[in-house]
Structure 1
Amino acid sequence: MGFQKVVVRCEPTFINTSRSCTCSEPNILGVSLTSEWFAKYLQSSAAACWVYANLTSCQALGNMCVMNMNSYESSTFDACRLFQFIFENTAGLRTVHSFSFWRQNLPWLFYGDQLGLAPQVLSTTPLPTNFSFKGQNQNTKLKFVAASYDVRGNFLKWQTLEGGVLQLCPDTETRLNAAYSFGTTYQQSCEIPVSKLLTDFPTPIFYDVYLEYTDENQHRYIWAVPVLNLNLQHNKIFVNQDSSSGKWLLTRRIFLVDTLSGRENDLESQPRLVRVATQISLSIHLVPNTKNGNIYPPLITIAYSDVDVRDPTSQSVEIALGVLGGLAVLSSLLKTAGWKRRVGSPMIDLQTVVKFLVYYAGDLANVFFIITVGTGLYWLIFFKVSDF
């Protein structure tokens, strides 16, 4: 058998700035999986963002970077590296609200990649507002709002986070909103079926979170809330899992559930993987040596897990094999015990073990036969029905 090395053109919509012969890869998740969404839209979104400064395409490219955990390597041109390339080469564009990390027409994804930036963001500038439990100036409510976007980069709406917008676990509205009360320790956990995730989140929604506050003159402002994504990799290193905050790389945009990027070959098919936020924490730190209730910017810490979406048929076969295999062990033990009574020997010797293994082999063979025949009949009937 011979082998051929096939050379194909890279996606024509984007220039390979590395000047190598290697095309940029679509998104590869934690397992060996090629995302159909990334394969279809990564290069075209990057091209429209870079060449035409198309706002929606830039947002879509940013979303793909977030779906890829804001991870990037300097040697590859994945979603985040393409985003960084465009960011670095559009220094002439204006910034938004004087934030150097927020370039016009580009979403704000990173707080830069320089060591030591995270402590500056988190513990240098207090919020210009006070929180108090007493008196006429009582202020105990943290008013979080978010700008939400769909996966294609379209702006959806501004919304408050109350009502469980960022909480996957169901609960009463009062308990859900308790998470945003100043000075409250709040914890919630639950188990959610994969089928519900697939139904409730056909495509991911992305959120840029802000804290709304009022200054001493009663003027309303919003403050960008930084994110610590524990899954972020910088040059294959999980920098945000380091104990030193000086090595962290803070980001901005988050999502809860991604059932889209795990689809292979066909965007209408069931995903092979579902990426879900399994840990979300919101931490508030008081400014030390102050009695005015000043706080530093809140920090959202988030961790994602990849859930393997198995084929229901293969799951049924595995369940049947486990149940029938256990019954085979029980049946073999009963047969061996009956044989021991017949021969009148109370001792468990080598002959007893061999007899058990013989019985177990026979019962296990029957289990495999039943499962094989049952599965074969199922698929035969299924395909016969589908022909009609």
Structure 2
Amino acid sequence: MRFDPFIKYFLYVLVLIEYSSQQITSISLNTTELNSLNCSSNEIFDFTKLECKKCPNNSFPLDKFNCKCNETFYFTINNGGNSIRCTPCKTGQIQTLDGFSCIEPPTSSCSSNIGIITDTDQYGSKLSKRQCIVCDDKFSKPLNGACKSCKPFVISENDNQTIETSTCNLNPSGGFLFFDNSVTIPFNNINSYFENSGASWLFNEFSLSAFRTCRIPNRRNMTSCQFLANLNVLKLYTRQPLMEQYDSLFNPEEPNSLPWLKYQEDLSSYYNLYSQNGIDSEFLKIKFKNKCQNTDLELISAEYDLWGTFKNFESFDIQKLNLCYLNSNSFDQDIISSPFTTSKILSKCSVDVQRLFELSDSKNTIFYDLYLKFGNGTKLLPIPVKIYETGKNKDDNLFRRFFLLETTSSKNSADTKSTHIRFAKSVKITIELIPGKSNGEIYPPLIEIEYDTARREDKKIVYLNFEIEYKINVSNFRKVFFILFGTLSGLAFLYSCLSIWNWNRRSGRFMIDIITIFKFLMFLISSVGNSIMIALACISIYWFIVYRNQMNVILFLPDKLQEKIYGTFLIIAFCLKLVDVIYLILVQTSFDIFFIDWEKPKNDEKSLELKKRLPPIDKNNQTSLIMEQIKEQNKISCWRTLFVANEWNELQTFRKINTTIHLILVLFLLKVINLEAYTRQECQPDRNDITSDTPYSFILRLGISFLVFTGVEFFQLFVYTVMYSRCIEDKIGQFVDFCSISNISMLIMTHTQYGYYIHGRSPHGQSDTSMYQMTQSLIREEIDMSAKRGLESNSNHQTFSIKVPNKFIKEYSKKRSVNRAVRRDHITSSNEFEKRMLAYTKLNNFLISFLNNSIRGINYSVHERNICENLFNIEFKQPIKNGYFYKDEIDCFTDVIYFGKEKTLFLFDLVIFLFVDYLSESYILAALIVYITSKILKIFRSDLGRRNLSKKTLVDKRFLI
């Protein structure tokens, strides 16, 4: 920008022609009633009060902002606006051109080509009356209605001094001369702000003249004061002589006569003052008329050019603070233009330094004073600004006025180009909820600006940031979270104590040992992991629902640092659930399993006849006895056992839900329906906008993930329970039926004295029959012409949880020990294998005898659990002498396979999904990792389960498909 030298002579002389505006008040939280700028024809807009006012008596509006005395009156006080006092002239006199004295009216006219009508001569001396002065081309010339002296003007700051008593031995500044006895400002340290840039033409030429013309009593030049304020802003409010001299101009009797630049309070004091009393006991709130349409709060800006001239007073578009959009030559109309919507904005861009110079050189430097309009549009509150420089320490000082970029202060002369540029590298608007308030009261907005500098010869890229941040004190939420987590953890501890007590009773242990402590830790790990997940679900779902549905804003989103605590707990939950699932798989693949075959050997007529002819077996011959028993056992087909074993092997990894379908539905909702859009930090996100770069909120992603993932889980459980298992296929029920058809029962010992029993004894006596006989048997059962399938007569109940006495365990363990010994020896001889077969037969016969209650001293009875036992999965009776069979009404025996541990597996899938999304912010990647993990665990569980099934039974794993 090129500055005509004429500015030096014209800028400050015409005191009344320029208009100005003032700050609302020097008191931080005082407000002003706001009236329209459209004042009537006999009013001016007074920026000291931001309202329309009439001019005093004997004056009239000179323009929209200043009053002027009538023709026959002169100014005794003129501080701009309507702050004037008019005194009548003597009879026959009129006002001088400057308005501060009276003079005789002109008696003749003159041609504007050679002279002008004025009340001073061509050297600036006052005349006795207005005359036609012919300008002397040597010393002056006509310009804009006056003779412009070729020498500097002489200005008196004291009415007692006159031009006639002055000499030319004066102090020049900005085209003006001041008397020797006037106070001066030392020029060291104020000429240039930039390092190695030389003397600043702007500060060197105009700082002293601005200070002098601003300080003249009763005729303060308000434009000079505004310009002087702008010079201090260019110095970034550093405590140097210029700023100190500016503060000395403040007059307590005229608090609005000087632009307000700095708050007396720092940020913390300002917030404390506001939080105690508000604004006249009223607090700011963000309210929405419709969704995200703020009805009350609005930013208003007063704008000034570099020279202090007021330019505008209007609604402020926050895009003006974003140099990224200024660089694009057009503002993005889609971006929200108000910060009072709870929509977080984070804009980043890179700009070439030369482009910034082009922008600054082509545009006037604008200075802004921001206000907040509230109270139904009737009140204004000044907005504080924090200013700091890149690489320098920050402080909490608050200021009023700011700029975005400028180069003028680094010019060495009016005609040279600037050497440096200063620009707003980072601009952040912060809106914070007041802690302890429950109705969404907020602090006044705070603007933080970080300035950086660059040289014109630099060939580099600079990075610009613009951000709207909403802050909330999360101490109460954190307290609630820890209270909730602490309560749940206390319950988890009690539940773990109950679980280890129950485990000890089922295991026949009455002493605390290392194994007991280890089991307790495993119970505690599982329970605490569940507690963390519940606490995270509660806090995140609450945040999601309230934030997305608030009309009167009471909740903002936490920032990254505040969210870190929840992310930490999520990581802990992931580790705990990982240990929990691995331990679950290891436990499930270590249970004792035995198939009880009720089938009896067939004795057809030929076999009986042959047996009668053979000599009797010598019972003292052990070999002969073993061979005879094995021959009897071998008459029973093994295919039924193989089929049941294979069915059980398939059931081991069967779940109530389909993981693949589950993840597809989750991704469909989050990505295709784009519910993920609701996790962006926007007040009103658009699901159809897939290009939005608004950052996501972790707490919102956590909340919607819990809702969607859990919702799909419940949907699949509902479909399976109500529809699939009833109308299509009930694999658990089918397995129990298959056991009955196969005439094979199943005993699963999960603890030393506790386990599960599936009664599979066929009501027809035999299952190794022809198709015709099997069909006939099923028909008889259907028309109730056969016995019941249940363990008890006249009962169809086939599944039980059992507690057996020590006598049973000793006998059971004794007979199982032979199998274990043979397995360790890897069956090196046929005789050893035959011994194992014999042990199996003996154990089978023992269990059949026990189930028939035909073993003396080892009996059992059938019971039903009471409500408390069902609720906590415990048994109060101890099997001291007799065993107890509890009817399993809810298929508790499925706890030994995936099917009964759906809750644990679901929580593990969920915590993996949340954990991966926390690290990557990608639902697709999270779903992929869940799928891969579930497949790996399924393979791992299936392989270990097949090995255990083969090891605990006679079924070779090669037959387990």
Category of TM-score, reference length = shorter chain: 0.5 to 0.7
Residue 132 of structure 1 contacts residue 293 of structure 1 at CA under 8 Å; is this kept in 2? no
Determine if the alignment matches structure 1 residue 149 to structure 2 residue 304.
Answer: yes
Secondary structure of 2:267's aligned partner: helix
Secondary structure of 2:285's aligned partner: coil
Map of 2:268 onto structure 1: 119
Determine if the alignment matches structure 1 residue 173 to structure 2 residue 333.
Answer: yes
Determine if the alignment matches structure 1 residue 159 to structure 2 residue 314.
Answer: yes
CA distance in 2, matches of 1:268, 1:174: 41
Residue 36 of structure 1 contacts residue 261 of structure 1 at CA under 8 Å; is this kept in 2? yes
Determine if the alignment matches structure 1 residue 305 to structure 2 residue 423.
Answer: no
Map of 2:205 onto structure 1: 40
Residue 419 of structure 2 contacts residue 456 of structure 2 at CA under 8 Å; is this kept in 1? yes
The letter of the residue matching 2:402 is I
Structure 1 stretches lacking a partner, 5+ long? 1-7, 96-103, 233-237, 243-247, 316-388
Q: Give 1:77-88 correspondences, 5 Å limit.
A: 77-78=241-242, 80-87=243-250
Residue 300 of structure 2 contacts residue 314 of structure 2 at CA under 8 Å; is this kept in 1? yes
Offset from partner CA, 1:151-177 (integer Å, 9 cap, x none): 110000112222622221125122252
CA distance in 2, matches of 1:213, 1:181: 12
Residue 144 of structure 1 contacts residue 211 of structure 1 at CA under 8 Å; is this kept in 2? yes
Q: Give 1:352-363 correspondences, 5 Å limit.
A: none
Query: Which has the higher Rg, Structure 1 or Structure 2?
Result: 2
CA distance in 2, matches of 1:59, 1:107: 6
> Structure 1 residues 301 and 311, CA, compared in 2 at 3 Å: closer, same or farther?
closer
Q: CA deviation at 1:200?
A: 2.9
CA distance in 2, matches of 1:110, 1:252: 6
> Structure 1 residues 141 and 200, CA, compared in 2 at 3 Å: closer, same or farther?
farther
CA distance in 2, matches of 1:181, 1:220: 17
In structure 2, which of residues 373, 378, 389 is the aligned counterpart of residue 231 of structure 1? 389
The letter of the residue matching 2:294 is N
CA distance in 1, matches of 2:209, 2:312: 25
Offset from partner CA, 1:328-377 (integer Å, 9 cap, x none): xxxxxxxxxxxxxxxxxxxxxxxxxxxxxxxxxxxxxxxxxxxxxxxxxx
CA distance in 2, matches of 1:256, 1:37: 18
Residue 27 of structure 1 contacts residue 68 of structure 1 at CA under 8 Å; is this kept in 2? no
In structure 1, which of residues 14, 32, 54 is the aligned counterpart of residue 221 of structure 2? 54
CA distance in 2, matches of 1:28, 1:164: 31
The letter of the residue matching 1:121 is Y
Secondary structure of 2:232's aligned partner: helix
Q: CA deviation at 1:131?
A: 1.5
Residue 279 of structure 1 contacts residue 302 of structure 1 at CA under 8 Å; is this kept in 2? yes
The letter of the residue matching 2:445 is P
CA distance in 1, matches of 2:360, 2:382: 25
Residue 228 of structure 1 contacts residue 251 of structure 1 at CA under 8 Å; is this kept in 2? yes
CA distance in 1, matches of 2:296, 2:339: 6
In structure 1, which of residues 165, 178, 193 is the aligned counterpart of residue 352 of structure 2? 193
Q: Give 1:95-106 correspondences, 5 Å limit.
A: 95=255, 104-106=256-258
Map of 1:373 onto structure 2: none
The letter of the residue matching 2:234 is M
> Structure 1 residues 163 and 251, CA, compared in 2 at 3 Å: closer, same or farther?
closer
CA distance in 2, matches of 1:138, 1:257: 31
Secondary structure of 2:320's aligned partner: coil
> Structure 1 residues 304 and 163, CA, compared in 2 at 3 Å: closer, same or farther?
closer
Residue 59 of structure 1 contacts residue 152 of structure 1 at CA under 8 Å; is this kept in 2? yes
Q: CA deviation at 1:135?
A: 7.9
Residue 141 of structure 1 contacts residue 182 of structure 1 at CA under 8 Å; is this kept in 2? no
Residue 296 of structure 2 contacts residue 377 of structure 2 at CA under 8 Å; is this kept in 1? no
Determine if the alignment matches structure 1 residue 28 to structure 2 residue 192.
Answer: yes
Secondary structure of 1:230's aligned partner: strand
> Structure 1 residues 278 and 311, CA, compared in 2 at 3 Å: closer, same or farther?
closer
In structure 2, which of residues 400, 415, 418 is the aligned counterpart of residue 271 of structure 1? 418
Q: CA deviation at 1:231?
A: 3.4
> Structure 1 residues 24 and 47, CA, compared in 2 at 3 Å: closer, same or farther?
farther
CA distance in 2, matches of 1:194, 1:267: 22
Map of 1:325 onto structure 2: none
CA distance in 2, matches of 1:156, 1:149: 5
Determine if the alignment matches structure 1 residue 283 to structure 2 residue 430.
Answer: yes
Map of 2:235 onto structure 1: 68
CA distance in 1, matches of 2:290, 2:171: 69
Map of 1:332 onto structure 2: none
Map of 2:373 onto structure 1: 212
Secondary structure of 1:63's aligned partner: helix
Taking only aligned residues, the RMSD between alpha carbons, in angstroms, comes to 3.1
Q: Per residue, is there more helix in 1 or in 2?
A: 2
Structure 2 stretches lacking a partner, 5+ long? 1-169, 326-330, 461-961
> Structure 1 residues 17 and 91, CA, compared in 2 at 3 Å: closer, same or farther?
farther
Map of 2:287 onto structure 1: 132
Residue 229 of structure 1 contacts residue 250 of structure 1 at CA under 8 Å; is this kept in 2? yes
> Structure 1 residues 23 and 16, CA, compared in 2 at 3 Å: closer, same or farther?
farther
The letter of the residue matching 1:223 is L
Residue 214 of structure 2 contacts residue 221 of structure 2 at CA under 8 Å; is this kept in 1? yes
Q: CA deviation at 1:117?
A: 4.0
> Structure 1 residues 37 and 176, CA, compared in 2 at 3 Å: closer, same or farther?
farther
Secondary structure of 2:284's aligned partner: coil
CA distance in 2, matches of 1:137, 1:306: 37
Deviates more, 1:183-192 or 1:53-62: 183-192
Equivalent pairs counted in the alignment come to: 270
Offset from partner CA, 1:285-334 (integer Å, 9 cap, x none): 1122223221111111111111111189xx9xxxxxxxxxxxxxxxxxxx
Q: CA deviation at 1:274?
A: 0.4
Q: CA deviation at 1:43?
A: 0.5
Map of 1:375 onto structure 2: none
CA distance in 1, matches of 2:400, 2:417: 29
The letter of the residue matching 1:58 is C
Secondary structure of 2:247's aligned partner: helix
The letter of the residue matching 1:167 is N
Secondary structure of 2:425's aligned partner: strand
Offset from partner CA, 1:165-196 (integer Å, 9 cap, x none): 2221125122252x614322211121233343
Map of 2:859 onto structure 1: none
CA distance in 1, matches of 2:446, 2:458: 38
Secondary structure of 2:263's aligned partner: coil
> Structure 1 residues 138 and 291, CA, compared in 2 at 3 Å: closer, same or farther?
farther
Secondary structure of 1:173's aligned partner: coil
The letter of the residue matching 2:355 is K
Secondary structure of 2:451's aligned partner: strand
CA distance in 1, matches of 2:458, 2:368: 31
Secondary structure of 1:306's aligned partner: strand
Q: CA deviation at 1:81?
A: 2.1
Residue 123 of structure 1 contacts residue 296 of structure 1 at CA under 8 Å; is this kept in 2? no
Residue 10 of structure 1 contacts residue 23 of structure 1 at CA under 8 Å; is this kept in 2? no
Map of 2:44 onto structure 1: none
